[in-house]
Structure formats: structure tokens, C-alpha cells
Structure 1
Amino acid sequence: MVRFGVVGTNWITESFIRGASHHQDFQLVAVYSRTEERAAKFAGKYDVDNIFTDLEEMAKSDAIDAVYLASPNSLHASQAITFMKNGKHVLSEKAIASNSQELGDMIRTAKDNRVVLMEALKSTLMPNFKAVQENLDKIGTVRRYFASYCQYSSRYDKYKEGTLMNAFNPEFSAGSLMDIGIYCIYPLVVLFGEPKTIQANGYVLESGVDGEGSLILKYDEMDAVIMFSKITDSTLPSEIHGENGNIRIDKISTPEKVEIIYRDGRSEDLSRKQLADNMFYEAEEFITLIQQGKMESENNSLENSRITMKILDEARLQMGVKFPSDK
């Protein structure tokens, strides 16, 4: 068994627990929250006895082997480093850090302490994304990657009413790019590596974070076009265009239907069965790495997280989005 603690008591933590609970070697043993009342209430849902309001105390506890971080982006680096220095493996929600400097510190700490550090980007570990990887050669030379993830945030209504929610607060290294744009960028990096150039545009809210934006990324033989937003909706699928056909992905953040449309009009359904509790796949990958003594994932590797963070940094620089965490 791998004994997990969780940091954060929000809906994403509950989604992770539901998914991870499908794994026979997952055991939830500890909960952290800033208040004892909230920690106890959340822990009670899962019959967990160990509750913490002191992060250092939790990191030093012999009760846990690993931790899932679902805290705001701005806290990921400091929290992860605290746990890793105490020999705990860390699965951190995306974005794994605020910027490249923080991520560099996290990676060094992971290597120094021989623990697993992985970014919890679920989509690149799901069966339907692996179907894309395994069938990419069928569409010939790839010329364009197009990804769109635009989802109107219910928190935006509160923002317009004058309430600054975490999702639109630069103090928490938030915004559309960091929250959902990354779902478009990370698969691109896994499939095609680091781009040669980056062009970014976006609409920056008065709070200082981006509400929406777009990227054009150049590779030697192809380009990538990415659109993301938390202030508008879109139902566009994502596509990878090859000279022999294109792969259509219904939802880049949670691929459920994947198909090839060939130039001659034929289609091929690549879709695979997946658990509805799809955060299972990141938990499965993370637990396997720990049990096999491996230091990092193949798809969600530290190098892929480093390249993704480099793109996020440059995009924010061009859009004019700065976080207090930036130095």
C-alpha cells in the first residue's frame, strides 16, 4: 500500500480520492487543512483519523508515504519542498509551480532526496491520449496541432460583482493560462517537445491575471495554435493535422472520443474505454513509480513539466501577467 495524505479539501481533492480509490494499493490516511474544523469534517467523509493544520508536522509524520497537493499554485513549490525534504513523494496539481525558478528548486529537492515528483496532469496519462500517441504515425507528417479549451468560470460572475476569487487572483499564481491553458500545452509538449518560438496574446483582467488568450508555437516542420479562456465558452474539438489525415480529439482536457479522419474520407475510431473517475490514471502512474523505484513518469516527466513551465513563463511575459512569486 502507498499511504497518502492530501493537502486541500476542495472538489478536486474529492475527485482525486474517488479516482485513486479504484487502485488496490491506494490508502488515504491523512488530511491537511488550515483549520482543524475543516480538516476534521473532510477526514470524516473518508474515515481518516490523521488530521493536520501544521504542514511541517504532517511532512515529518511516519503515517504517510506520499502527498497529493491540491492547494493554490503559489503554494505548490514551498509545500512540495517541505514534504520532499522529509522523504515524502509528491503528486502536485497543475500547474506544478508558479514559474521555472520554483520548479527548478522542486526538481533539485526531489533528486537530492530520491523521491518521486510528478505533475498531476491527468489527460496525458489517460487511455485515449495514449491512443493518440500510438496512432500518430498514421496521419503522416504532422503540420499543425490545434487545441482549444474555453470554459466560462462560475467564479467570473463573482469577479464581475466585485469579489476577487482565487481563480482570478495573481497572489495565487492563477488565471486562464495556468488553470486551463496548460491542458492544451502539456499534451503538445509530450507529443512534440519544445517549440522553437512562442507568440502569445491575451486579455488581462484588472486583477492582473489573464481571462483568456491564445498562443502560436513554431516547430521545424509544424506549428501549434492554442486557445484558452475562463471568460467565454467554446465547443470546438482539438485536432492534429497530418499530410495523410487528421486526429480529432473531442476534449483536450479529458479525451473521451478520438478518431482519425483520412484524406480520402475514411474514418477510424481510436477511442478506448476509460473510468469515469478519470483521475485514477494519474494516481496509478504515481503509485507505480513509487512501487517500482522509478523517479519520474515517461509522459508526465520532469523534463516535460520544465518545458511546459518555460512556455507558461514566456506566454505570461508577452501578455503582461506577473505574479508575486516571480523574481
Structure 2
Amino acid sequence: MQPLQLAVLSTSRIVDEFLQHLSDMPEISVQALCCRPQSGEKARDWAQRYGIPAVYTDEETCYRTGGFDAVYIGTANHLHYSAAKRALAAGYHVILEKPFTGTAAEARELYALADEKGVMLLEAITTYYLPQYAFLKAELPKIGPVRGAMASFCARSRRYDDFLQGIWNTTFDPACQGGALNDMNVYNLHLLTGLLGVPKRAEYRPSRAENGIDTAGTVLLDYGDVTAAALAAKDSEGINGMVLQGPGGRLVVEGGTNALPVVYSVAGGVRGGGTRTDGPQTNRHRMAYEFAEFARIIREGDTAAEQAARARTLAVMDLLDTLHNG
């Protein structure tokens, strides 16, 4: 089976992580790195280290030269929309990191452009493609109607100390669409809406720094008969995971909601009792599962899967619009 031929845009931290685990992703083959001129030396070093044939410091040249089928975009958040628009306009499939775009309107514009060009546009949100997520979906009906729902994803950013010292970085700049909601809570939102659906109402209660960036915050998702809480922080550590509970038992995630490292269900609503069923254990890097599926979707032209992914992305983008503007 021919792997998906990929160009990678950016030399960001997420791209660094992605490249470090290429050996875990035989479904793809990186043919080019493209970055800003000031990052060229880093890109050339990575290309030599990982056996990537080409390095470009100009997108137009990269796209004109080609030799790949899709572009994976891992730029800073505020550059997602414009970078994806250029890659789509050049006729390439696009895999775009989360958070997808700055607004739902931008997301819909990109999907319209993808349709016009006859290519696919997919969001790199790891959660849905993990086998643990499929386990949670299958076990959910067994706990009965959900009566409590909490998710947490908190990690003190390596850039937070720089921010406190007045050193600029995109993560803590509101103009660059950073912050806890976009960078961390987006995983909680994808997980909760994927399992529970779109809420009737939603509100965001952030902790903000002097420049207005949300360094932490809690989202409340009102489903009428239950309210789910989603906590995220980039300024402090927490206990990460998720609990959904109902009369018939509970579903539990231990660890980050971007990786779902440990999942299990407990059947039975008696205090101190119940039967635990452990979910699957993954043996690949968390990003390997999404890229394996992206390669399949693009290779097979699976428009149904692309449309399902599109619907999930737009549901969360609409929700983010509400939370940012509320």
C-alpha cells in the first residue's frame, strides 16, 4: 500500500513531536518541510535527521514543485486559516492542526474552498481516532442517562514562565489565538460533545492575565438535564481525565484528554461496588492513529468519513464562537 505523500508546514513544537514519531506512522511519507526563512536551518537539520528529501522556505515554491498529495499544517493558531487557504487553493488535501480556525465562519469558508478544489480538509484532533474513544462510545449506553460529567486537561506551559517575565510568545498572546480554551480545553470539548452531543447552552468562566489571555478556565455545557464541566489550564498542573456517571455506572479516563491513556467503565450503581471493564491499551503514538485514518480517507476518497469529521469540527467551532463571544 502506497503511503500518503505529505508536505509539512512549520517547525513548531507539534511538528517536532510529529516528526519524532514518523517511524510509528508507516501510512505516511514526509516528502517536504516548508518553513519561514529564519527557521530554515532547523528544518534542514530535521530533514537530514528524518530522511526528508526537500526543504523550502517559500510556500509558493513548495506547492509549485509538488511531489506530495497533502499538506499537514502545524503553524501557530492564528496562522491556520491563511495557511490552509493557500494550500487548498494550490490543490492539495489539507490536514490542519487544532484549534481549526479562529472562527466558525473561517472554517466554513475553508470547507467551501476544499469542495471547490475537489480536495479533502481534515482537523488533526487526536481524540476521535484513538481506540479508547471507540471503547467509550460503546460503553456509554450501559451507564444509563448521564447525571454527571467532568473533564480536565491542565498542564503548566513551558512558556508560562517566559510570559511572567515579559518575554513574548504566541501561546499567551490573545492576538495569536492562544490561551487555555484554544490550546487545551478544545480537547475536552471534542471529547464531551463527541460523547454527549451539542449542548443547549454554553458559557466560559476564564482566569485572565493582564493582557486578556485566558491562562485557565472552566466551560459549562448545559444539556438541560445535566451540566458538564470542562476545566483547562496552561498556568498550573492538575489531575487530568474525565468522568461520566449515570445510574448504571461510570466511564473514566485517566490522563490527558488528547491521548486517553487509561480508560475503563464501571458497571453497577451500588456504593463501593461495580464491575470494572478496562478499555484498550495503545501501542502507538497518539498521533499515529489519526494520521493512519487520514491516509485511508484520502487514499480511498471516503467522503462519508470526511463529512463526519467535518460535522464534528464545525460543531466545536460553533461552540468556541459562543464561548469566545459570550
Task: Tell me if both proteins adopt one fold, taking TM over 0.5 as the criterion.
Answer: yes
Gaps of 5+ in 2: none
Cα offsets for 1:267-295 (capped at 9, x unmatched): 32332121242210110110010111023
Partner of 1:325: none
**1:105 positional shift:** 1.1
Give the Cα–Cα distance (whole angstroms) in 2 for the partners of residues 10 and 275 of structure 1: 25
Partner of 1:322: none
Partner of 1:255: 260
Partner of 2:276: 268
Q: Is the alpha carbon distance of 1:74 and 1:206 closer, same or farther for their aligned partners in structure 2, counting shifts above 3 Å?
A: same
The correspondence for 2:13, drawn from 11, 14, 35, is: 11
**1:298 positional shift:** 6.5
**1:221 positional shift:** 3.5
The correspondence for 2:291, drawn from 283, 286, 292, is: 283
Matched, 1:120 2:124: yes
Partner of 2:237: 233
Partner of 1:43: 47
SS in 1 for 2:303: coil
Q: Is the alpha carbon distance of 1:296 and 1:154 closer, same or farther for their aligned partners in structure 2, counting shifts above 3 Å?
A: farther
Alignment of 1:86-165 (within 5 A): 86-165=90-169
Amino acid at match of 1:30: A
Give the Cα–Cα distance (whole angstroms) in 2 for the partners of residues 298 and 112 of structure 1: 15
**1:20 positional shift:** 4.7
CA contact (8 A) 1:6 1:67 kept: yes
Amino acid at match of 1:28: V
CA contact (8 A) 2:297 2:306 kept: no
Give the RMSD, CA atoms, in angstroms: 1.8
Deviates more, 1:281-290 or 1:54-63: 54-63
Q: Is the alpha carbon distance of 1:236 and 1:57 closer, same or farther for their aligned partners in structure 2, counting shifts above 3 Å?
A: closer
Alignment of 1:273-312 (within 5 A): 273-295=281-303, 297=305, 301-312=309-320
Give the Cα–Cα distance (whole angstroms) in 2 for the partners of residues 97 and 65 of structure 1: 22
The correspondence for 1:78, drawn from 63, 66, 82, is: 82
Q: Is the alpha carbon distance of 1:6 and 1:151 closer, same or farther for their aligned partners in structure 2, counting shifts above 3 Å?
A: same
Give the Cα–Cα distance (whole angstroms) in 2 for the partners of residues 66 and 283 of structure 1: 12
Cα offsets for 1:243-281 (capped at 9, x unmatched): 211111102221121122231312323321212422101
Give the Cα–Cα distance (whole angstroms) in 1 for the partners of residues 97 and 188 of structure 2: 15
Give the Cα–Cα distance (whole angstroms) in 2 for the partners of residues 211 and 89 of structure 1: 34
CA contact (8 A) 1:5 1:67 kept: yes
Amino acid at match of 1:4: L
Deviates more, 1:147-156 or 1:260-269: 260-269
Matched, 1:2 2:4: yes
Cα offsets for 1:292-327 (capped at 9, x unmatched): 102364797111111111111221223xxxxxxxxx
Gaps of 5+ in 1: 319-327
CA contact (8 A) 1:76 1:92 kept: yes
SS in 2 for 1:226: strand
SS in 1 for 2:24: coil
Give the Cα–Cα distance (whole angstroms) in 1 for the partners of residues 159 and 309 of structure 2: 32
Partner of 1:65: 69
Per the normalisation by structure 2, the TM-score is 0.92
How many correspondences in the alignment? 318
Amino acid at match of 1:211: T
Per the normalisation by structure 1, the TM-score is 0.92
Q: Which has the higher contact order (CA 8 A, sep 6+)?
A: 1
